[in-house]
């Protein structure tokens, strides 16, 4: 088999890249180690920046998002028992975010890919990027007991944090930067109406909480929990009781509880790989960087990476120019580090740090007080939250 771009991983980065390349007339194959249902079963991001919305439109996968997505003009910060609204729309000259789940984004991208008849190999095992430092890279994998090989011009490593592409990069050419946080997020999805129209980010003595949503009838909530907690330790009742304790009286009274559709714990981590290109292999999305979810940036960074990458490949094939592929890593990393900074900052301001003591708590309160009462402070939060412009 031969293709122009072999994409490893059918998460949002791989699927979006495949569709953007297809629209630019560039042939591609996606190789994924899991089944499509398994990929769709992962409940993750909920907030899309305008840049991501625009790329989904360009990919032709925006129809259902336009009908069912929820545009949001603000968020609320809850601290010292009171909620304060950050007017994203007013503070950024009319920008907003779209609340639309990663599961739906992935489903829409899978559907348009299937409609176009493009090849995705699911349940491939032992996937290997090979010879990417030569000009004849290949992807090898096993399926149904047979070894297959795809010859290609380029490999896109869209295989997430635990993937094979970053692990296959020459160790003397790669540098990684990492920060691990001493807590995780316990998430719960339920068919209950959201507690508030806006997302609520809560800093409380008992730890961080986030009230998010997927639709007018489906809610997504998160609680900061110690890393030692197991999801089996948390009954639905215990989750709702703890969430109530972390809300203000009005939200507590409005909270509608119900059985969980999904419950899982995710550790929080900041991680960056430099560079994001190794010869003819390019890393994109979580394969190259991870942010804690507090700033809602992970999926959005994945989207902007593949936006740059599809542009670079288009320049290569249409204009015979390597300028885009040569610029790719540096261009992405400028944006990545700003999102890393924002996500780290939001995480630091909103969570309870077990070993940092009361001084830290007081500084957090002062910072939150500053952010909500200073136009400069709230504008800085707002412009990062809606997404910095592409460079």
Q: What is the DSSP string of 177-233?
A: EEEEEEEEEEEEEESS--SSSSEEEEE-TT--EEEEEEETTEEEEEEEE-TT--GGG
Task: Assess 351 for contact with ligand RFL (CB under 6 A).
Answer: no
User: Judged by CB under 6 A, which stretch of 31-39, 146-154, 195-203, 371-379 contacts ligand RFL?
Assistant: 31-39
Task: Assess 378 for contact with ligand RFL (CB under 6 A).
Answer: no
Question: Is 341 buried (19+), middle (13-18) or exposed (0-12) by CB count in 10 A?
Answer: middle
204: left (phi over 0), alpha (psi -120 to 50) or beta: beta
Q: Which of 138, 263, 297, 351 is catalytic?
A: 297
Among positions 178-217, residues that touch ligand PHB (CB under 6 A) are 199, 210, 212
Q: How far is 208 from 223, CA to CA, in rounded Å? A: 6
Residues in binding contact with ligand RFL, number by CB under 6 A:
36
Task: Assess 266 for contact with ligand RFL (CB under 6 A).
Answer: yes
Q: In terms of CB distance, is 11 or 324 closer to ligand RFL?
A: 11
Task: Indicate if 38 belongs to the active site.
Answer: no
Task: Assess 347 for contact with ligand PHB (CB under 6 A).
Answer: no
Q: What is the DSSP string of 19-79?
A: HHHHHTT--EEEE-SS-HHHHHT-----EE-HHHHHHHHHTT--HHHHHH-EEE--EEEEE
Task: Assess 296 for contact with ligand PHB (CB under 6 A).
Answer: yes
Task: Assess 12 for contact with ligand PHB (CB under 6 A).
Answer: no
Task: Indicate if 293 belongs to the active site.
Answer: yes
Residues in binding contact with ligand PHB, number by CB under 6 A:
10
Torsional sign, CA 331, 308, 212, 32: negative
The site string for ligand RFL over 177-206 (x = CB under 6 A, - otherwise) reads --------x-x-------------------
Task: Indicate if 370 belongs to the active site.
Answer: no
Task: Assess 294 for contact with ligand PHB (CB under 6 A).
Answer: yes
Task: Assess 293 for contact with ligand PHB (CB under 6 A).
Answer: yes
294 binds, among ligand PHB, ligand RFL, none (CB under 5 to 8 A by kind): ligand PHB
Q: How far is 330 from 334, CA to CA, in rounded Å? A: 6
Bridge partner residues of 7 (DSSP): 30, 156
Q: Which of 12, 22, 72, 289 is catalytic?
A: 72
Question: Is 115 buried (19+), middle (13-18) or exposed (0-12) by CB count in 10 A?
Answer: exposed
Active-site residue numbers? 72, 201, 293, 297, 385
Interface residues with ligand PHB (CB under 6 A)?
A: 45-47, 199, 210, 212, 220, 293-294, 296
Provide the binding-site residues for ligand RFL, judged by CB under 6 A.
8-14, 31-34, 39, 44-47, 102, 127, 158-160, 162-164, 185, 187, 266, 285-286, 293, 296-300, 302
């Amino acid at each position: 088999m031969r293709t122009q771009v072999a994409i490893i991983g059918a998460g949002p980065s791989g699927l979006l890249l495949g569709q953007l390349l297809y629209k630019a007339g560039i042939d591609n194959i996606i190789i994924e180690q899991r089944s499509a249902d398994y990929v769709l079963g992962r409940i993750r991001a909920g907030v899309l920046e305008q840049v991501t919305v625009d790329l989904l439109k360009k990919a032709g996968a925006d129809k259902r998002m336009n009908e069912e997505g929820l545009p949001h003009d603000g968020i609320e910060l809850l601290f010292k028992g009171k909620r304060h609204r950050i007017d994203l729309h007013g503070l950024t000259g009319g920008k907003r975010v779209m609340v639309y789940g990663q599961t739906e984004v992935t489903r829409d991208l899978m559907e348009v890919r299937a409609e176009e008849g493009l090849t995705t190999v699911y349940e491939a095992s032992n996937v290997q990027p090979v010879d990417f430092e030569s000009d004849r890279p290949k992807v090898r994998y096993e399926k149904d007991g047979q070894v297959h090989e795809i010859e290609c011009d380029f490999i896109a490593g869209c295989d997430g944090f635990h993937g094979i592409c970053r692990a296959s990069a020459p160790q003397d050419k790669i540098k990684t930067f990492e920060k691990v946080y001493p807590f995780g997020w316990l998430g719960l999805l339920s068919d209950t109406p959201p507690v508030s129209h806006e997302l609520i980010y809560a800093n409380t003595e008992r730890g961080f909480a986030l009230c998010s949503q997927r639709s007018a009838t489906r809610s997504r909530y998160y609680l900061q929990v110690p890393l030692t907690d197991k999801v089996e330790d948390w009954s639905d009742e215990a989750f709702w009781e703890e969430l109530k304790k972390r809300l203000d009286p009005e939200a507590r009274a409005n909270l509608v509880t119900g059985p969980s559709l999904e419950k899982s714990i995710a550790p929080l981590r900041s991680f960056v790989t430099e560079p994001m290109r190794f010869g003819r292999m390019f890393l994109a999305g979580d394969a190259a960087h991870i942010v804690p979810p507090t700033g809602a940036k992970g999926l959005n960074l994945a989207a902007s990476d593949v936006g740059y990458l599809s542009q670079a490949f288009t320049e290569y094939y249409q204009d015979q120019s390597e300028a885009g592929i040569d610029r790719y890593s540096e261009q992405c990393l400028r944006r990545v580090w700003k999102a890393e900074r924002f996500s780290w900052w939001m995480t630091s301001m909103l969570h309870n740090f077990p070993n940092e003591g009361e001084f830290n708590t007081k500084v957090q309160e002062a910072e939150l007080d500053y952010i909500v009462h200073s136009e400069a402070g709230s504008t800085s939060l707002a412009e990062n939250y809606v997404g910095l412009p592409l460079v």
